[in-house]
Amino acid sequence: MRSFYDCIVVGGGPGGAWAAKHASEGGASVLLLEKDREIGIPVRCAEAVGAAGLQAVVDPQPAWISNKIKGAVLVSPDGREVVVSGERDQGYMLDRKIFDYALVEIAAGAGVDVLTKAYVSDVIKPNGRVQGVRLQHMGQTSEVGCSVVIGADGVESRVGRWAGLRTSIKMKDMESCVQKTLSNIELDPDYVYFYFGKDIAPGGYVWVFPKNDRLANVGLGISGEFSRYKSAQKYLQDFIDKRFPHASVLYTVVGGVPCAPTLKKIVADGLMLVGDAAHQVNPMSGGGINTAMLAGQIAGRVAATAIAQQDVSEKKLRQYAAEWHKAQGKAHERFHKIKKAVYKLSDGDLNKTADAVLSLPPEERSLANIFKTALVKHPSLIFDVIRVFVH
Amino acid sequence: MINAIDDRCDFCGACVAVCPVDCIELRESRIAILDHCIDCMLCVWICPVEALAGADKNLESECEASMIAS
């Protein structure tokens, strides 16, 4: 490890790995820092991704994929099941341990230096410009200088705060999540299941994502607006007791997912934020892998160009924010507004919507049609949607 | 005033993300509440596994928290 790099990436998840890879390929010297002892561990993820979104940023390898998903089953509060399916491979169940390792291996192959068990305790910013990080590793504290810091340090991001950005998340936009990997259950491995309802997961949903026909990630998120009254853990236990009473639990993991608009400012002098740290998670689904990798790709490329041109000012780095908003920004804001509208529906509204959708012939049950049907049933939603599409 | 129950904590960072005053420090399997905590309770409320406990909430901090949250 050197005492200066062109670019330091904080966080070794998919967003950080992809930022590091693309900065290195753009000609920058890059150091990737991970606070945990091993890349990819612990897996804090439900592991499902959209196939098209992933293919847009990387060529998916068979070893990364534990199961291929054909469609989704949306379950209303009173148990009506709406099946939405398409061609084969709508989505993948990733094996995140293997996937995250592979992405960092690819980055390392592109010339990135990697250090694990490396805790960043502050950014160095003489004169207000970020010029490096303070690093704690194996009982030693040191400073490593750089031209650009890319903060890919997850939902708990502090890199942005230290650089002066406002990154804390509003309670209502934060999903409090728990997941258990259940064995000894029976399900159709071709489908992912989503359960909705105020009693099941207020301001969120339950997911059942199969890894095979006997094993699945079963978890839920509830909005921070409700989590003070009953914890996510208790909601999940209630669901599992009812649905999968004979399951054995092989893994339990918890986490917070920011289902928020993208941060207003994701760059500062010498600093860029990527992925969960920048609130780039799809606010409707809570999925953040594809968007983090896309953002990382853009950020890495923009960083390398800025470094080569010896101008890492906020103004120059804004190119990253502009490209992110051009690629995903509008869709992201729209998803956030739709999320807010959908969570306003009562359980009765959701049941009626499911009923109406089930009256459609199966071949017409695309997501777009489900949405249209929901609109006909709930005219008040139309105003929300008009707001969504006019903006 | 806020205490972390190490045996329950999964070190996920949800509390760090909602903290309005950046007073929670999280490492691989260590969590610390720093002295400038304002007892706003947001971390206690967001924790998925009830691993944070605060003293009895007083009206003032609830009021402040709801302002921060809105």
Domain finish residue from A258, A290, A316: A258
| Token couple for A161 | 């705060």
Min Cα distance A375 → chain B (Å) is 28
Backbone angles phi, psi at B59, to 5 degrees: -55, -40
pLDDT digit string (tens) for A28-39? Answer: 999 999 999 999
Same domain, A116 and A163: yes
User: What token pair was written down for A297?
Assistant: 């790709």
* ipTM entry: 0.90
CA distance A379 to A385: 10
Asked whether residue A353 is domain-assigned, the answer is yes
Tokens of B59: 């009206």
Domain count, chain B: 1
Mean pLDDT score, A81-104: 88
Cα distance from A182 to chain B (closest Cα, Å)? 18
Residue A62 lies in a domain: no
The bridge status of strand A132-137 relative to strand A118-124 is: antiparallel
Same domain, A386 and A349: yes
CB A301 within 8 A of CB A21: no
Q: Which domain holds residue A238?
A: 70-90+171-258
Helices A367-377 and A379-390 pack at an angle, to 10 degrees, of 120
Helix (H) or strand (E) holding A238: helix A232-243
pLDDT tens readout for residues A121-145: 999 999 889 999 999 999 999 999 9
Which residues in B lie closer than 8 A to residue A178 (C-beta atoms)? 48-49
Note the pLDDT of residue B69: 53
State the Cα–Cα distance between residues A57 and A62, nearest whole angstrom. Answer: 16
Distance between CA atoms of A143 and B34, rounded to whole angstroms?
23
Mean pLDDT of the A228-232 span: 97
Residues of A in contact with B50 (CB under 8 A): 231, 233
Position of tokens 């194996």?
A: A138
Min Cα separation B5/chain A (Å): 15
Positive or negative torsion for Cα A324, A325, A327, A330:
positive
Q: How far apart are CA A178 and CA A192, in angstroms?
A: 17
Which among A43, A161, A176 is the top mutation candidate for probing chain B, defined by the most B β-carbons within 10 Å of its own β-carbon? A176
A142 is a domain residue: yes
Domains contained in chain A, number: 3
Contact A172 B69 (CB under 8 A): yes
What are the backbone angles phi and psi of residue A45, rounded to the nearest 5°? -165, 150
* Residue A263 Cα, gap to closest chain B Cα (Å): 13
Mutate to test the interface with A, among B5, B8, B10, B16 (most CBs of A within 10 A): B16
Query: Are A287 and A324 in contact, with CB atoms under 8 Å apart?
Result: no
Residue B29: give its domain's CATH number. Answer: 3.30.70.20
Q: Determine what percent of chain A is predicted with pLDDT higher than 70.
A: 92
CATH number at residue A322: 3.50.50.60
* B63: exposed, middle or buried (Cβ count in 10 Å: 0-12, 13-18, 19+): exposed
Chain segment A142-185, per-residue pLDDT in tens:
999 999 999 999 999 999 999 999 898 999 999 999 999 999 99
- CB contacts < 8 A, A to B, total 96
Higher pLDDT, A47 or A374: A47
